[in-house]
Amino acid sequence: MRIRKWLGNALTVLMVAAFITVAGSVVMSKTSGNGPNFYGYQLKTVLSGSMEPSIPTGSIVAIKPGGDMTRFAAGDVITFRADEQKLITHRIVEVISNEQTGQLLYRTKGDNNDAADLEPVDPANVTGVYTGFTVPYIGYALNFAGTKLGNVTLLIIPGVLLFLYALASLWKAISGLEDKKPDPNAAQPDTKAP
């Protein structure tokens, strides 16, 4: 009985901690105006196989934004804006420096691609550097979460589970109170003062 109570308390603490963590992440994402982020790291979904096997398709990766975007060297994996709607995460294969203009460009390539990308990347288009943190296949779920159906599903299912958990806890508490009520029909022991 004690173990069950301890497990119930531990589950409650874990649910509250998960709620606070997710809520904090969502609030920080919305206030910064960026996509999903987790305490300073942007979470990006990899939807192509250009970086396999190091980054599998459907993974989420953590990208560290900010800082001097001219600091990268060959071998670093960066995320850059190809156009207004498209972000790409590829490895730098060459740093091109124009001595006359002082302009720096990155030649990038997907690990699984046969050739380097056609256009070199301007450091102004780099949004962050890949941290090495990858969670395979979760990107599919995050991509689904970004849809209207995903938003509804992710709001309704946890809400129903919390409601059911609250009902079960309430039922257990009420049952415990009923078990402790004295039976009015039971014989009362005779007590006499000495």
| Residues tagged active-site | 48
CA distances from 116 to 32, 83, 121 (A): 33, 18, 11
* Alpha-carbon gap, residue 125 to 192, rounded angstroms: 92
> Residue 135: is it exposed, middle or buried by C-beta count within 10 angstroms (0-12/13-18/19+)?
middle
* Alpha-carbon gap, residue 82 to 62, rounded angstroms: 19
Q: What are phi and psi of 94, to 5 degrees?
A: -160, 140
Q: Which letter does DSSP use for residue 124 in this model? A: G
- Taking 3-state DSSP, the helix, strand and coil percentages for the chain, each rounded to the nearest 5, stand at 40, 25, 40
